[in-house]
């Protein structure tokens, strides 16, 4: 039996925080996505486009709330 690590809200928040994006401790994926993209548009966040590309390559193990936040708030702003 294979155990797969899901990309959940906590993982999403942690990966954004690793890019020096300040986020509230219990922020939902939507809040994280909004805050991250706002910072990226204001001052730039090196590595954010690459992170989003990497995450979207793994939608099969991503919780729907994370996928929806990325698709709705981040992808349009990064195009």
pLDDT in tens, 5-64: 899 999 999 999 999 999 999 999 999 999 999 999 999 999 999 999 999 999 999 999
- In the chain, how many domains are there? 1
Nearest-angstrom CA–CA distance, 65 and 45: 22
Residue 40 lies in a domain: yes
Residue 20 lies in a domain: no
pLDDT on residue 58:
93
Residue 1 lies in a domain: no
Residue 2 lies in a domain: no
Full DSSP string of 8-71: -HHHHHHHHHTTT----TT--HHHHHHHHHHHHHHH--TTHHHHHHHHHTTGGGB-HHHHHHII
Domain range for 42 = 9-14+27-78
Residue 19 lies in a domain: no
Residue 21 lies in a domain: no
pLDDT tier for residue 2 given thresholds of 50, 70 and 90: low
pLDDT on residue 79:
85
């Amino acid at each position: 039996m294979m155990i797969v690590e899901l990309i959940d809200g906590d993982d999403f928040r942690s990966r954004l925080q690793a890019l020096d994006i300040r986020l509230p401790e219990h922020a939902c994926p939507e809040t994280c996505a909004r805050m991250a993209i706002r910072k990226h548009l204001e001052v730039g966040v090196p590595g954010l486009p690459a992170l989003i590309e990497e995450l979207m390559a793994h939608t099969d193990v991503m919780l729907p709330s994370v996928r929806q936040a990325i698709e709705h708030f981040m992808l349009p702003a990064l195009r």
